[in-house]
Chains A and B, each alone.
Chain A
Amino acid sequence: MRPSAGATLALGPASEALSHAPSLYNLARRLSASDSDAEDLVQETYARALGGAATFAPGTNLRAWLFRILRNAWVDLLRRRRRDPAGGGQPGLEPNSEPPAEEQAQGPELLRGDLELDRLRRVVSAEIEAALGQLGEEARTVVLLDLEGLTEVEVAEVMGCAVGTVKSRLSRARAALRRLLQHYAPPEATGRGGTRRAEGAGEAEGGAGGTR
């Protein structure tokens, strides 16, 4: 008897694994900035996961396992491209000479609390994509995995590092995003918006120094 489309448990682990394909594709596309690379990475992930080479123990964390395979496939792809740049891929993936945004110890100061909040509320897709692109590769990955709903323990499993490392990477990456997002466009004058102000962090005289 054939199960109908939409039947779940009867179909076994392959189907559950495939249900993660949209999430895997989304991450792959964000990391590689290329539709064809993302498709290849997803195919590679499932080939490694379900192609018979690896066995999956039921009851363990399937999603984290798949993301780990995807990430490893991506790292492999990056390494291959660095050795042979003519092999294709996006120019933006070459290692930067500049340190990634989250490692810059001296960043522009955060705006006074209410201005920053106002700015964050107005952020548009292009800005947040650009900011994400300025993070280092590992920082970007932890932010995206966290966004995908993985716990810090799961992220650590995917990245192959300690949970503490994930915590600090995530914290620095988010701080870097906040700094970057403030400065893509000049903040609006505070005449608009509520009269009620948060007593903002670091009430510096005249606000932050980095005005444009």
Chain B
Amino acid sequence: MTERPGAGPATRPEVPPECGRARSLLLDAERGRLPAAEPAWLEEHLAGCAGCRAEAEAERALSAALATRLPRHRPSPELLTDLAARYLPAAAQPAPAPRSTSPSPATDVAGPGAVDSPPAPAPLRPVARRWPRPAWLGPAMAAALVLATVGYYEGLVLPRRTSPSIAAEAVHDHLRLLASSHPLGVESGGPHQVKPWFQGRLDFAPPLAFGGDDDYPLVGGDVAYVFDRKAAQLVFRRRLHTISLLVFVAEGLRFPPAEVPLGRLAAHLEEVRGFSSVVWRDGELGFALASDLNRAELLELARRVASAGR
């Protein structure tokens, strides 16, 4: 490790004990595992501590990177087939051909039928590079079994952790906005001022056909992040409520199923940490609203944004 010139060995800055405690709770908080009183304590500490807030952001970004940027390796259909053939009870499998010493495709019997005597389970073999397939499993059977098995596995494998959601990202960006004491990147003098401000700051052109109105005036804009990409963050107001609208490139993101109609589009509604979020996709772009405003009025804003077009 290179040392900084003029400095001794690199040392970590001292972290106050309260911050140390807060930071030790961050991962559990992210996983929703904190015991009863802790979430409130942590929230309060984070509201007043920029250093820990930055830590929380970084930890969350690391989790997002691990969850979304690390490819998941899938087992081959052959492996799944083989496992199913070895271990599933015979009743779950398509009827196998009678066990024969020299199987060939021509002699396998396909088709449904009760199994009279299930084949004996494959004997335990020592770990070898090749795991010979059970003798009776012909190619037609194997194909049917793969389809059944994979579909079966897909159904049974429950997501143990929900992947980070776009709605959660939007709410986090909104919370960051609320907690920040800094002014917005651009204060609104109208959409004609806000739109050019984004030029050069984003790698796409955010549509600003809806530049606010009397019911939902546009307050300003800034740049935020949705997972790994930059987003335009437009801030609106409705009475005393602040609303964030994030606009970002949709490619590569999985959008949740949309149940709520928005004119020609449809949106997904979600509650995250007490905030409402509306998420939808329109062509190449994704949109997400986040606010403590009530759902009905938030949806109305969503409709206005969606119908304003480009």
Contact = CB atoms under 8 A, between A and B. Distances in A.
Interface of A: 2-3, 5-8, 11-12, 14-23, 25-26, 29-30, 35-36, 38-40, 42-44, 46-47, 50-53, 63, 104, 106-110, 113-114, 116-117, 120-125, 128-129, 132, 143, 147-151, 170-171, 174, 177-178, 181, 192-202, 204, 209-210
Interface string B61-92: 11001110111111110011011101111011
Given A21-B83, A125-B71, A107 B27 contact: no
B230 interface: yes
Interface string B218-249: 00001111011110000000000000000000
Given A11-B88, A19-B156, A42-B79, A196 B180 contact: yes
Contact of A2 (B5, B10, B54, B92): B92
A110 B227 CA distance: 21
Nearest to A212: B2
Most buried by B among A26, A35, A194: A194
Nearest to A182: B58
B57, B82, B84, B125: most-surrounded residue (chain A CB, <10 A): B57
A193 B53 CA distance: 19
Contact of A26 (B7, B73, B83): B73
B9 A29 contact: no
Given A107-B1, A198-B50, A46 B224 contact: no
Contacts, number: 214
Nearest to B177: A196
Contacts of B10: 106-109, 209
Contacts of A117: 54, 57-58, 61, 225
A46 B117 CA distance: 24
Given A21-B80, A106-B9, A121-B228, A26 B54 contact: no
Nearest to A114: B54
A120 to B, nearest CB: 4
Contact of B224 (A42, A150, A151, A194): A194
A198 B226 CA distance: 17
Interface of B: 1-5, 7, 9-10, 12-13, 24, 27, 31, 33, 50-51, 53-55, 57-59, 61-62, 65-67, 69-76, 79-80, 82-84, 86-89, 91-92, 112, 114, 121, 124-125, 127-129, 131, 147-149, 151-153, 155-157, 159-161, 180, 182-185, 200-201, 222-225, 227-230
Given A44-B127, A174-B27, A195-B185, A124 B70 contact: no
B54 A199 contact: yes
Which of B12, B151, B200, B227: most chain A Cβ within 10 A? B12
8 contacts: A7-B92, A8-B156, A19-B156, A40-B129, A106-B1, A125-B71, A128-B65, A210-B2
Contact of B59 (A3, A20, A26, A174): A174
